[in-house]
Amino acid sequence: MGKATGFLESARENSPVRETEERIRDWSEFHIQPEEQALQIQASRCMDCGVPFCHTGSLLKGQAVGCPIHNLIPEWNDLVYRGQWQEALGRLHKTNNFPEFTGRVCPAPCEGSCNLGLIDEPVAIKDIELAIVDRGFQEGWIRAQPPSQRTGKTVAVVGSGPAGLACADQLNKAGHSVTVFERFDRIGGLLMYGIPNMKLAKAVVDRRIALLEAEGITFVTKCEIGADYPVESLESDYDAAIFCCGAEQPRDLPIPGREASGIYFAMEYLRANTKTLLDSGSAQQAEISAAGKDVVIIGGGDTGTDCAATALRHGCRSVVQLEIMPQPPQERASSNPWPQWPHIMRSDYGQDEAAARFGSDPRQYLVMSKRFAADDGNRVSGIHAVQIEWAADAAGKRFPREVPGTERFFPAQLVLLAMGFTGPRESLSQTLDLTMSEKSFCTNRSSFFAAGDMRRGQSLVVWAIDEGRRAAEACHRYLQTSHS
């Protein structure tokens, strides 16, 4: 490393963000780009590790370790410290198709596996990654680079989320002619309609889409495979097809009163809000609005955080997040050792904003919803819930046990279900009749492949990018061997 003693001399400093009371009044990104000197100091903290676990990208006892796409983190940290930003961008793009996305929305498993994290705060890897790619666009270093030759092979990519875009990018770079199909009206999938503007500005997504288009990728919107475009035609019109449709089937909460109006899946809410913003430039006419309402979000994670932040910008009266799991510990548990991702108590941007607005963290732990209440018009008016504790039966299986005398009522005129996803849309699975493999990207149809959340289950954007890249590699081998 450029400065072997950097980690001894400088403390970690996170990149600045906009003041909470300011940013909840608009839909602009909350990130602020740090000064170059501050970033070089942070990059200098990267140690000369014998084994840099930050980019291992593996699983240890089922838990993520390091960066899934094997980013060459020590290399571009060193280059940033030395002021060689363009070279750092080159190293970053070797493994990551879209660092402007991961630099904004990834929870940074790389930092959880940083060697420095054993004795001190880990290196601010995510902040440095974002600074590299943002500077690359600002300086004009990132330009369209279409392939010099075409193979004559055609590939359809179904789904334009991070897996689909990464897959399309890799196949296009290999010289194949790629068409990406998207059932919604804009390209980007989760990046466009699943992640709010203040976390990932849609201009950032559009900028990358325009670049991919300039490199020769064709995008088709408002086209659902199996409905608007027959699966059989897909098989006959293209040499191969890769399905990257995501895990879009939300987990429901079938308790009494579920039929009341005002109860929505989280993605319905987020998608409707983003579409309104993009179509009109304002959220005032949002199809689902939290303005003046008590909002209850059932479920945590990134999606729950995004719902809380969106509700605050709508002008909600209150916001509460109910989580059935216990509050994470402040420090790593013995069962969660380094270099695994540390499951510890954190406060994300949505919780910080809610605390600034209402005076306390919106999350309530070990709470189980029992039934929804509704008014005379069958509009949701609240949730009856109870505190629980986790117990184990004779076989060791854990189950939630109600704590007597802890019943509570949470008023709510808007309820958002953010409990994760169970897999691809049922209608899609039935239409495609695909059998996917857990060990490869192949399916029961020789020319069809699958990747992303629809194959491995709900996960992070960075895992989706990894899936797309590896599926593209499998498809490329197939086209070389079976269609030579």
Q: Is residue 342 reached through a cis peptide bond, with omega within 30 degrees of 0 on the bond before it?
A: no
Q: Tell me the pLDDT tens digit for each residue of 301-314.
A: 899 999 999 999 99
pLDDT value of position 300: 84
Spans in the chain with pLDDT lower than 50: none
Answer yes or no: are the C-beta atoms of 288 and 439 closer than 8 Å.
no
Torsion angle in degrees (nearest 10) through CA of 424, 430, 435, 437: 0
pLDDT value of position 428: 73
Q: Against a cut of 0.85, is the pTM above it?
A: yes
Looking at domain 252-419, its CATH class is alpha beta
Answer yes or no: are the C-beta atoms of 447 and 478 closer than 8 Å.
yes
Q: Tell me the pLDDT tens digit for each residue of 93-118.
A: 999 999 999 999 999 999 999 999 99
Q: Which long-range contacts (CB under 8 A, 24 or more apart) does 341-345 make?
A: 341/63, 341/64, 341/65, 341/107, 341/109, 341/112, 341/113, 342/112
Would you kindly state where each structural domain of the chain is located, as residue ranges?
A: 6-139, 154-248+422-482, 252-419
The domain made up of 154-248+422-482 has a fold known as FAD/NAD(P)-binding domain (3.50.50)
**Whole-angstrom Cα distance, residue 32 to residue 261?**
39
The domain made up of 6-139 has a fold known as Fumarate Reductase Iron-sulfur Protein; Chain B, domain 2 (1.10.1060)
pLDDT value of position 282: 87
pLDDT value of position 425: 82
pLDDT value of position 3: 87
For residue 386, list its beta bridge partners.
368
For residue 417, list its beta bridge partners.
265, 298
Q: Which long-range contacts (CB under 8 A, 24 or more apart) does 85-88 make?
A: 85/132, 85/135, 85/136, 85/139, 86/136, 86/139, 86/141, 88/132
Q: Do 154-248+422-482 and 252-419 share a fold? A: yes
Q: How many helices (H) and strands (E) does the chain have?
A: 17, 18
Answer yes or no: are the C-beta atoms of 160 and 188 closer than 8 Å.
yes
**Whole-angstrom Cα distance, residue 369 to residue 409?**
10
Angle between helices 73-81 and 36-44 (to 10 degrees): 130
